[in-house]
């Protein structure tokens, strides 16, 4: 890649936005909707039987995961992001949602192995279903978008894992929208649970 | 909103993804590209004159901000997310990038006021340019997408601030793509700076 | 301060540990025990009337605060660290515990002002009771140890705010011990709530 | 343990503080000072040869670790806490400092294994030198204080791992004091690097 001049920056910026937009759309076409429906039911089932939802991911996947852990709380679902000050004890009744594009990231893999040993459920958002974490998971959502293992080989405008990260956030927020519908939760309900000092 | 049955969940999920895709596209049409080009130059100028880039936001805006602080590091630009263990001293030579949909969130506003007092530059990603933080900012990027102040009034499928959050992440990653071009940085360069233990 | 040779490092290391030990002891002699007892009662009262405990601090004070937010969860008390993924809505029935040595740190002050506006209770751990945050607080625990405002004037071996930070952690864990006694909670109870995947 | 009445709370609180003070002092008597001196030299060596210091721990150990990662930055030493937004690439030239009382915590163990595979140095603060992480470490600091594996068997006033956590923080800050002396850094130097917006 050659250094671009200022007049090319605008084009690159706008084309990257369009690439992201198209990748999100592509997810709506290719996603395994049955797995999404199963995950939504799993979240509701775990929550309604007093289980908790744990979310984990490393790096940017972790920041995307934190967005979802917070949204679950907004919906009245007991959740935590693993490593936050309040990280509950994970047990058989709980669901661990892991985000790992490659499916082999160090700490998510170790945490999935431990969760699997304890015996709770695991759901994975990944670009690589047949990965080590995939093999430990009860449910896998395959996400369109470049994950870390493709970062230097697959040519895209959006840097590194950006397409995977944004696609995953879009899918998780669409799951949030679906949960709102299924649980009959309104924006006003969310507002009543949203942080007021932050 | 009435509780929806399982057959409607699929539709709602897919329509939310499409809504997100369209909102990202709408950003490419409506964004003030001059402000984007100015911000890209500002980041490069600050970095090349030994200043640092500080990123901050509260809640989900903060998680989006962390994604960008990390990406800047991948590009070889000295950055930190304010509140992380390594938060540098902010001074006149530095740039603070704040993400706040409403433009009035408590801690980002306080931190912007402090940064303004110190005398460094401030850039804001917001849905509300004429907000308190907007008034303190040297540069404002107006983002399409529902921000907190519109959360209960503007009807969307994506919950609460999701459209603002995802749009902002998409814009920030497109800025990342532009920086790669301007600075002649490749995916391999990023890979060499990407966390190896995480 | 002159650069010391290797043979002096040992002495400095051990003397710093002793300084810390003495400072913790000094806290046991000088602390206002009535304020401690009031805080313990306040925590129990808030929790038993379905209120929640919020903890906040910036920088190292924040990391100390996270230790306490976690301990409260171990004791079965609903708590969160403000800025974590799961940060609840603060309301009149809740208690915000702030750690700020100087009592004027930017984001803790802004958050205390917001909490005060909402109308819940505020407790402060500080070296400066007559500070801005002190003026907003319902209850103040004065901690022995050098806080940020004394950092460059008061000569100690332990660097910067270390004596304040460690003293505060020691006091918070002693409050934890007292809560265990008052609530009849055992180490086994804590173990049952301690994170199992982390 | 029986529920205690209010008149016993005061006694328990003060005795816990004294127990903590004594435990910190005990560390000054029992610590292997040669290992401390080696770690101080290792930190200086790594930093002066353009290596970086990585710090990691899970739960409360992680919060203690963040305090130290920040202190290192205050001393002008390039550092990061693994999992923060800016987590650098770990390589052979770097040092990873892990805090794990039990020496077998899930994510620190996985991260130590990965670091060992990459080939950099590892230092461990633990209550269990002959643990899995201990076996991977180049240098071990044994800390006095109850760690997780002793949490329900060893009777102390301070809850669960508090004695290990506070002892480790005290030791790390005493290392900070020693580094100040060796590197001829003053409180004013720290002040110039301390966060100004937080």
pLDDT digits (tens, 9 = 90+) for A148-167: 899 999 999 999 999 999 99
Element (H, E) at A51: none
- Comparing CA positions, the residue from D49, D28, D45, D59 lying closest to residue D173 is D28
Residues 44-63 of D with CB under 8 A from B: 54-56
Q: Does D81 touch chain B (CB under 8 A)?
A: yes
Residues 108-137 of A with CB under 8 A from D: 109-111, 113-114
C126 - beta bridge partners? C142
Chain A residues whose CB is inside 8 A of the B57 CB are none
- Comparing CA positions, the residue from B110, B145, B151, B111 lying closest to residue B125 is B145
Residue with tokens 């994510």: D107
Q: How many CB pairs under 8 A join C and D?
A: 237
C84 three-class SS = strand
For chain C, give the longest Cα–Cα distance: 58
Chain B residues whose CB is inside 8 A of the A175 CB are 13
CA distance D63 to chain C (A): 5
At residue D2, the pLDDT reads 61
Q: Domains of chain C (ranges plus CATH)?
A: 30-192 (3.40.50.10490)
- Report the b/e string of D81-90 with b at 16+ CB within 10 A: bbbbbbbbbb
The rounded distance, in Å, linking the Cα atoms of D179 and D177 is: 5
Which chains lie within 8 Å of chain D at 3 or more CB pairs, if any? A, B, C
Q: Is A71 exposed, middle or buried (0-12, 13-18, 19+ CB in 10 A)?
A: buried
pLDDT digits (tens, 9 = 90+) for C45-103: 999 999 999 999 999 999 999 999 999 999 999 999 999 999 999 999 999 999 999 99
B147 falls in which pLDDT band (50, 70, 90)? Answer: confident
At residue B5, the pLDDT reads 79
Most B CBs within 10 Å: which of A73, A157, A177, as the mutation test of the B interface?
Answer: A177
Angle subtended by helix axes B162-183 and A162-183, to nearest 10: 180
Residues of chain D with pLDDT under 50: 1
Residue with tokens 């998409």: B170
Angle at C61 between CA D30 and CA D184, to 5 degrees: 60
pLDDT digits (tens, 9 = 90+) for B9-67: 999 999 999 999 999 999 999 999 999 999 999 999 999 999 999 999 999 999 999 99
A106 and D83 in contact by Cβ < 8 A? Answer: no
Euclidean distance between the first and the last CA atom of chain D, given in angstroms as a whole number: 42
A125 falls in which pLDDT band (50, 70, 90)? Answer: very high
The rounded distance, in Å, linking the Cα atoms of C141 and D81 is: 30
Nearest CA in chain D to B63: D85
- Among B59, B87, B107, the residue with its CB nearest the CB of C111 is B107
Give the mean model confidence (pLDDT) for residues B90-112: 98
At residue A111, the pLDDT reads 98
Residue with tokens 């000569």: C155
Give the mean model confidence (pLDDT) for residues A10-25: 98
pLDDT of A1 > 60? The answer is: no
Q: Rg of the Cα trace of chain A?
A: 18
Residue A184 CB partners (closer than 8 Å, separation 6+): B1, B2, B3
Nearest CA in chain B to D63: B85
pLDDT of B1 > 70? The answer is: no
Residue with tokens 């279903």: A129
| Pairing relationship of beta strands A79-81 and A95-99 according to DSSP bridges | unpaired
- CA C25 remoteness from chain centre: 16
Give the mean model confidence (pLDDT) for residues A55-80: 98
C85 and A96 in contact by Cβ < 8 A? Answer: no
Q: Alpha helices of B5-105 — where are they, by DSSP H?
A: 6-30, 33-48, 59-74
At residue B4, the pLDDT reads 79
C63 and B83 in contact by Cβ < 8 A? Answer: no
Residue with tokens 């205050």: D74
D31 three-class SS = coil
Q: Is D26 exposed, middle or buried (0-12, 13-18, 19+ CB in 10 A)?
A: middle
The rounded distance, in Å, linking the Cα atoms of B114 and B104 is: 14
Chain D residues whose CB is inside 8 A of the A106 CB are 110-111, 113-114
At residue A5, the pLDDT reads 79
D58 and A111 in contact by Cβ < 8 A? Answer: no
How many residues appear in chain C?
A: 198
The rounded distance, in Å, linking the Cα atoms of B149 and B134 is: 15
At residue D6, the pLDDT reads 78
- CA C24 remoteness from chain centre: 13
CA distance C33 to chain B (A): 32
For chain B, give the longest Cα–Cα distance: 58
φ/ψ region of D167 (left if φ > 0, alpha if ψ in -120 to 50, else beta) reads alpha
At residue A106, the pLDDT reads 98
CA distance D147 to chain C (A): 12
At residue A2, the pLDDT reads 61
At residue B2, the pLDDT reads 62
At residue A7, the pLDDT reads 84
The rounded distance, in Å, linking the Cα atoms of C186 and C61 is: 27
- Among C2, C16, C176, the residue with its CB nearest the CB of D173 is C16
The string of DSSP codes covering chain B is: -PPPPHHHHHHHHHHHHHHHHHHHHHHHHHS-HHHHHHHHHHHHHHHHTT--EEEEESHHHHHHHHHHHHHHHHTT--EEETTSSS-PPP-TT-EEEEE-SSS--HHHHHHHHHHHHHT-EEEEEES-TTSHHHHH-SEEEE--S--GGGTTTS--SS-TTHHHHHHHHHHHHHHHHHHHHHHT--HHHHHHHS-S--
Tell me the pLDDT of chain A averaged across its residues. 96
pLDDT digits (tens, 9 = 90+) for D136-151: 999 999 999 998 899 9
Residues of chain C with pLDDT under 50: 1
- Comparing CA positions, the residue from C7, C6, C39, C40 lying closest to residue C140 is C39
Cβ atoms B193, D88 nearer than 8 A: yes
């Amino acid at each position: 890649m050659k250094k671009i001049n200022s007049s090319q920056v605008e084009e690159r910026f706008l084309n990257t936005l369009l690439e992201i937009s198209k990748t999100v759309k592509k997810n709506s076409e290719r996603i395994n909707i049955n797995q999404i429906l199963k995950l939504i039911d799993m979240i509701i089932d775990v929550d309604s039987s007093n289980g908790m939802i744990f979310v984990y991911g490393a790096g940017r996947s972790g920041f995307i995961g934190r967005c979802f852990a917070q949204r679950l709380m907004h919906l009245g679902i007991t959740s935590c992001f693993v490593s936050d000050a309040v990280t509950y004890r994970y047990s058989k009744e709980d669901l661990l949602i892991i985000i790992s594009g490659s499916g082999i990231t160090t700490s998510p893999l170790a945490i999935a192995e431990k969760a699997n040993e304890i015996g709770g459920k695991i759901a994975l958002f990944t670009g690589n279903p047949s990965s080590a974490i995939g093999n430990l998971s009860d449910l896998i959502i395959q996400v369109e978008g470049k994950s870390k293992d493709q970062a230097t080989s697959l040519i895209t405008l959006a840097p590194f894992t950006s397409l995977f990260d944004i696609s995953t956030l879009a899918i998780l927020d669409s799951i949030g929208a679906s949960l709102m519908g299924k649980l009959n939760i309104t924006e006003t309900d969310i507002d009543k649970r949203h942080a007021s000092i932050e």
